[in-house]
Structure 1
Amino acid sequence: MKFVIKHEIRGRIRFHVAQKNMSYREADILQYYLDSMKHVSSAKVNHSTCDAVVCYEGSREVMITALRRFHYETADVPESYLENSGRQVNEEYKEKLVDKVLMRCINRMFLPMPIANTLTAIRSVKYITNGLKTLANRKIEVPVLDGTAIGVSVFRGDFQTAGSIMFLLGIGEILEEWTHKKSVGDLARSMSLNIGKVWLKKDGQEVQVSAESIHVDDEIVIHVGNVIPFDGTVVDGDAMVNQASMTGEPLPVHKQADSYVYAGTVLEEGELCIRVRQVGGSSRYEKVVTMIEESEKLKSSLESKASHLADKLVPYTLLGTAATYLFTRNVTKALSVLMVDFSCALKLAMPISVLSAIRQASKSSITVKGGKFLEAMAEADTIVFDKTGTLTKAAPRVVDVVSFCNESSDELLRIAACLEEHFPHSMARAVVDAASEKNLVHEEVHSKVSYIVAHGISTTVEGRKTIIGSYHFVFEDEGCVVPEGMQEKFDALPEEYSHLYMAVEGRLVAVICIEDPIRDEAADVIRTLKELGFAKVVMMTGDSERTACAIARKVGVDEYYSEVLPEDKASYVERAKAEGHKVIMIGDGINDSPALSAADIGIAISDGAEIAREIADITVGADNLNELITLRKISTALTRRIRRNYRTIVGFNTGLIVLGVAGVIQPTTSALMHNTSTLAIGLHSMKDLVL
């Protein structure tokens, strides 16, 4: 790429791309290329000027070389990113806004008065018609008020006031629609699929490949807890699929041969082999957009209250207008009431406030699936943490493999990795990573693998039943025993580590010791959450009492529960809710899913199981618990803003009505001040919240 550096300081370059015009697509390609560079901290591409600003760390020469290497044709950019970047939408609405203001200025400055008045009268027909349609449907809502105010102004010959009202209403509509589409688009992009690898069935074997290499009619295998990455037809298998993210159905749906499955749904139980029918990356995005826009259940009660209150106040405004005229016989004073209403600002400011808060949360890698969850976050008083992958780091590591048979530790680790690689859990990843570090090739030597949630894995290896999992699963459920003469070795296992037990034909063959370090920030975050109003912080884990007690003491939770099953976590949440508490559940695994569903708000952390992220109401993408503090602050700040907006709207508009009835200000002034204040409140609501 040829470019000219226009300005430069240490760590920041502003350059101009040497081309006459830059399309939206080219700007998005360059944006993706810059953002994907490891040493680039931020980048912004302006397609209209062909300029870009890059903030980077490290060597200037490396940055310059990377820019020189760039070519639109060779840049590897996902098509779904280009289709749904949002750049074109933003530019379209900017142009609409500028056009609206320019046309207003031209009409006022250059058009003869008769022509300008005629155009105003023509434009007023739309608002008057909408008002009449609303009345025909036996409703007295905002369109009635707008149509009445504009119609009365035109009837009196006050075309300037009518024009001002329509101009400000038009600006408000553009801003509201723009903010809504941008916020929904940002949210949908953060919720869209981001699946890098899938299991391709080829020649009877499962091979892990890049999702981008999958084509229509390929057969892929979906294991329990994973997101189904493509639309397709079930070829083999029997499973329960959670389709809540697509259809809102609360219960999983049974799928078997010849059933159709959808991208973005989650395999909750069983296993499926599907034949891919659609690989387009945009289908999932579009479905998510539709889900967000159509799902009324995602609105906060404050947002819904504002919308309903706005419509309910319309009849009172009309009655106030009529009453003022009856008592004063003064049309001007009556119009002062008509020109001012509370509904416009309420309907504009509240949704924009909520969507702006969701957008601000997304900047911290927090995906919020609806305004009602922010409201619930602000009101919550109890927070329940899963331990593994949540309070502890999401990347535990294997520190030792203790053999209880004739096989070497490496061979036992190889077999364990072969079983664990199919399942999305931090402990499983630790085993697979440990085998990878030792270059242990773990080919598929087992039969079909069965995953027992919160317990472990069962399969057959070379004709022998092999299981791996928790102490409870291996020794109590399956009745396995420690080999003769090995009890002393078993009792000497280091207590500071978590243990995975592997048994073959009912006899223990290995114990994998896994270090599960506490997150550095965990204790500080829990202390801060208590300061922010949480009355009770609880930890729940399937680990032993000894491990749970040690972790609970270090992080400072109020209560902890050890050796719990998924249903135990969900039961605790249900009990706390029944006692009147507002409960948040935070987890990352398949076994957390029931509790995430049961809680007032389910929060999935980092790169946990897909089913947890899909079921959760909020997903924290950053691998840092400090984002929970950010989320709480955003939620409480949003509540404060909405309540402040209520007071401002009611107070200011009441003042305008009083001044109008008293004859201090004219209807034109009332309308101008009312609409200007509505626009100002809407613009203020678009700003990031002060945390």
Structure 2
Amino acid sequence: MKFVIKHEIKGRLRIHAVQGRMTYEQADTLCWFLEKQDIVTDAKVYERTADAVICYTGDREEVLRILRGFSYEKADVPDNVLASSGRELNSGFREQLITKMILHYGSRMIVPMPVRKVWLTFKALKYIWKGIRCLAKRKIEVPVLDATAIGVSVIRGDFNTAGSVMFLLGIGELLEEWTHKKSVGDLARSMSLNVKKVWLKREDQEVLVRSSSVQPGDVIVVHMGNVIPFDGVVCGGEGMVNQASLTGESLPVRRTEGKSVYAGTVLEEGELEIEVRAVTGSTRFEKIVTMIEDSEKLKSALESRAEHLADRLVPYTLLGTGIVGLVTRNAAKALSVLMVDFSCALKLAMPIAVLSAIREAGQHGITVKGGKYLEAVAEADTIVFDKTGTLTKARPTVKEVVSFGEYPEEELLRIAACLEEHFPHSMAKAVVDAAKKRKLYHEEMHSKVEYVVAHGISSYIDGRKVIIGSSHFVFEDEGCTVRETFREKFDALPGEYSHLYLAVENSLEAVICIEDPLREEARGMVQSLKAEGIRKVVMMTGDSERTAASIAERVGVDEYYSEVLPEDKARFVEAEKAAGHKVIMIGDGINDSPALSAADAGVAVSDGAEIAREIADITIASDDLMAVVTMKRLADAMMRRIQRNYRGIVGINSSLIALGVAGVIQPTTSALMHNTSTLAISLRSMKNLLPEEGRNLSLAQGSPSCR
């Protein structure tokens, strides 16, 4: 495909696609293609002008080579990227906004006043009907106030005021709908599935294949702790499925043969064989959008209070109008009170502030499932970290395999990888990756694998029982022993590594030493959190006391707990909440799920287990723990903005009412200034909360920004 360079500086290109009109789909395709390139740090595509802006690192010629090889036909864009794009939505709302403004101001200059009166009276009927319906339900809410203000203006013959009120109300409704749909769409896209590989059943074998190669009718196997990647029907096995990501239900449901399961839900217990019915991601996206839009629980407490307060203020506004009219005997002064109310601004500005904060979080690679969770982060004073994969790097590596028997080292690693590859955990991934690097490939040589959360794995190979897991699981739960001839070797195991113990027939055969280095930014992140108002930082881990103490000292946490089980983490969180603290829990594994659910705000890192990401209220995509600090700062800034909005709404509208009652300004001016101030506060609420350097950092980390 042919492109023309329109402008360039070092690290940035503006190009023009030589073609006819660029469609929304083509723009999304080009944007997706550019963002997938390692050399590209940011890309924006403008369909109106067929231009694209590309920010890149490295060689300019490499960017040009990539562009020369691009074509819409060859770009293998996932279905859900195009199906859930917000580009067409944004363009449609922009056109509606421009059209409304042209019609309103153009009609004032062109359309004769008698014709405008008829047209405005007809438009007023829509608002008056809404008010009547509200009264019919025995409610005195915002529609009643709008209907009264517009109706009284029409009756008095003040059509300019009626027209201005209806225009500004229409603009406000359009902006609210636009911001809401865009924020919900961005959130739903970030929650959409990104499962790259699945276990496909072929005859009696389980084969790991790319999810894009799966077709309807294929049978896939989903193991405990994994996300179900496609809609389908259970054709074998049984399990407990967590459907909170789609239905909001916290309790898992039992699924047996013949029952339907849905993409995006998580298998908490058991194992399922599923016949795939649908492989596209669009149905999953639509379900998430519906869940977000329908779920009242996702609203922040302040947002809900603003809505309720807005409706409760309506009767007082009407009462105030009546009192001013009776006392002053001046219809204009009474109408000035009616034209200025607090409810409109409260109902519009508060939700926009919350949704905009969620949208901005997405720019930083932080997915927030609802305003209430950002509010919880802002109010939190205690934060609990899992160690492995959270404070330590999510990519642990095998440093040594120590043999304690007749098996050669490579055979021990092959057995360990054969068992570990079925289950999602950073330690398991380290073992599997080590086997791949040594080209230790294998057939499925074991029987059914049993996974004990936070403990280990048990199975049989050639009729011999094989277990792999923690020291507690292998030696205490399973009663395995170390042969006396290897006792000295066992006592000399290097203490700087985490250990996985492999036993055959209750006898230790190997210890796999895994290096799990601390994240460089961990200590700075803890110090920054304390500066942001977090009073207590806690670390919890299943590792030994020696390892936990070493990490805790280096990170600078206030408390640490070692050798804890999943239920211990959840109990600690519940105890902190019972003591009056607001708690954030940050983890990445299956064993963190109970604590993530129990916390006021559960935060999962994106490289962790699917069940952690699905259950968590917030997911962080960045590989930098400073994103936790960004999340806290963003939440605090959102709360400050909401409080500032409250003060601004009360101050401005109180002043306008006072000026109207004093006769300083006319009802038309009151209405104009009230609605203009409401729109100004709403538009200000749509701006980013964090400074420019924060946004630049998030772009450098690769967050999407093409829509």
Using structure 1 for the length normalisation, give the TM-score: 0.99
Aligned mates of 2:293, 2:155 — CA distance in 1? 38
Q: Hey, what does 1:328 align to over in structure 2?
A: 328
Distance 1:493 1:656 in 2: 77
Residue 526 of structure 1 pairs with residue 529 of structure 2: no
Instruction: Give yes or no for the alignment of 1:464 onto 2:488.
Output: no
Map 1:44-443 onto structure 2 (within 5 A). 44-443=44-443
Measure, in 2, the Cα distance between the counterparts of 1:31 and 1:683.
27
Deviation digits for residues 58-77 of structure 1, max 9, x if unmatched? Answer: 22221112111111111111
- Residue of structure 1 in register with 2:559 after alignment: 559
Q: How far apart, CA to CA, are the structure 2 residues paired with 1:262 and 1:418?
A: 28
Q: Specify the alignment match of 2:700 in structure 1.
A: none
Paired letter, 1:420: E
Q: Percent identity?
A: 68
Alpha-carbon separation, structure 2, partners of 1:316 and 1:563: 59
**Whole-Å separation in 1 of the counterparts to 2:211 and 2:500:** 31
**Secondary structure in structure 1 of the residue aligned to 2:485:** coil
Query: Deviations 1:536-590 (Å, cap 9, x if unpaired)?
Result: 1111111111111111111011111111111111111111111111111111000
- Partner residue in 2 for 1:588: 588
Residue 7 of structure 1 and its aligned partner are, at CA, apart by 1.3
Q: CA RMSD in A?
A: 0.8
Shift of the alpha carbon at 1:518? 0.6
Which residue identity is paired with 2:254? H
How far residue 484 of structure 1 moved from its aligned partner, in angstroms, is 3.3
2: CA distance, partners of 1:443 / 1:344? 66
- Counterpart position of 2:14: 14
Uncovered stretches (5+) of structure 1, i.e. residues with no partner? none
Distance in 1 (CA, whole Å) between partners of 2:121 and 2:65 is 61
Match for residue 642 of structure 1?
642
Query: CA–CA distance in 1 between the matches of 2:147 and 2:65?
Result: 61
Q: Secondary structure at the match of 1:268?
A: strand
Match of 2:522, as an amino acid? A
Matches within 5 A, 1:436-515: 436-515=436-515
Residue by residue over 1:420-459, the C-alpha shift from the partner in whole angstroms, topping out at 9 and shown as x without a partner, is 0111100000001111111111221111111000100000
Letter in 2 for 1:173: E
Specify the code of the residue in structure 2 equivalent to 1:476: E
Residues in 2 aligned to 1:85 and 1:108: alpha-carbon distance in whole angstroms = 37
Q: Tell me which residue corresponds to 2:703.
A: none
Q: Tell me how far 1:607 sits from its aligned partner.
A: 1.0
SS of the counterpart of 1:374?
helix
Shift of 1:483: 2.0
Q: Hey, what's the Cα distance between the residues in 2 that align with 1:484 and 1:124?
A: 92
Misfit runs of 4+, over 3 Å: none
Distance in 2 of aligned mates of 1:64 and 1:368: 36
Distance 2:123 2:656 in 1: 26
| Partner Cα distance (2:388, 2:20) in 1 | 54
2-structure distance, mates of 1:383, 1:12: 40
Please tell me the residue identity of whatever aligns with 1:460. Y
Residue 569 of structure 1 is matched in structure 2 by 569
Match of 1:485, SS state, is helix
Deviations 1:186-218 (A, max 9, x none): 000001101000000012100001111111110
Task: Report the Cα distance in structure 2 between the residues aligned to 1:601 and 1:554, rounded to whole angstroms.
Answer: 26
What is the CA-CA distance between 1:80 and the residue it aligns to? Answer: 0.8
Note the C-alpha offset of 1:408.
1.2
1:463: Cα distance to partner? 1.2
> Whole-Å Cα distance in 1 between the matches of residues 421 and 411 of structure 2?
16
Match status 1:665 vs 2:632:
no
CA distance in 1, matches of 2:546, 2:138: 67
Structure 1 segment 676-687 matched on structure 2, within 5 A: 676-687=676-687
- 1:93-141 alpha-carbon deviations (Å, 9 max, x no partner): 0000010011112201111111111111111110011011111111111
Amino acid at match of 1:292: I
Paired with 1:331 and 1:478, the residues of 2 have a C-alpha distance of 86
Task: Note the C-alpha offset of 1:606.
Answer: 2.6
**One-letter amino acid of the structure 2 residue matched with residue 204 of structure 1:** D
Residue aligned with 2:193, SS: coil
Report what 2:547 is aligned to. 547
Question: 1: distance between equivalents of 2:442 and 2:286?
Answer: 39
Query: What amino acid sits opposite 2:618 in the alignment?
Result: I
1:531 CA drift (Å): 1.4
2-structure distance, mates of 1:20, 1:274? 45
Q: Distance in 2 between matches of 1:72 and 1:583?
A: 48
Structure 2: gaps spanning 5 or more residues? 692-707
1:250-274 superposed Cα distances (whole Å, 9 cap, x missing partner): 2111111111111111000111111
State TM-score, norm by structure 2.
0.97
Q: Show the counterpart of 1:610.
A: 610
Question: What SS does structure 2 have at the residue aligned with 1:486?
Answer: helix
Instruction: Output one character per residue of 1:596-650: Cα deviation in whole Å (capped at 9) or x when no partner.
Output: 1111111111310010111111111111110110010011111110011000001
Q: Deviations along 1:397-431, whole A, 9 cap, x unmatched?
A: 00000001111111100110011011110000000
Partners of 2:250 and 2:617 in 1: CA distance: 13
2: CA distance, partners of 1:377 / 1:672: 38
Distance 1:530 1:233 in 2: 49
Q: CA deviation at 1:690?
A: 3.5
Q: Match of 1:270, as an amino acid?
A: G
- Alpha-carbon distance, 1:527 to partner: 1.1
Which amino acid is 2:95 matched to? E
Q: Distance in 1 between matches of 2:253 and 2:169?
A: 46
Q: Distance in 2 between matches of 1:622 and 1:78?
A: 22
- Give the deviation of 1:42 after TM superposition: 1.1
Q: Distance in 2 between matches of 1:680 and 1:663?
A: 25
Paired letter, 2:406: N
The amino acid that maps onto 2:548 is A
Provide the C-alpha distance between the structure 2 equivalents of 1:8 and 1:381, rounded to a whole number of angstroms.
47
| Other structure's SS at 1:519 match | coil
Letter in 2 for 1:6: K
Work out whether 1:27 is the aligned partner of 2:27: yes
Q: Distance in 2 between matches of 1:302 and 1:485?
A: 66
Q: In 2, Cα distance between the equivalents of 1:489 and 1:282?
A: 56
Q: What secondary structure sits across from 1:224 in the alignment?
A: coil
Code of the aligned partner of 1:656: L
Q: 1-side partners of 2:89 and 2:30: how far apart?
A: 18
The 3-state SS of whatever aligns with 1:517 is coil
In the TM superposition, residue 281 of structure 1 has moved relative to its aligned partner by: 0.9
Counterpart amino acid of residue 315 in structure 2: P
Query: C-alpha distance in 2, partners of 1:663/1:338?
Result: 14
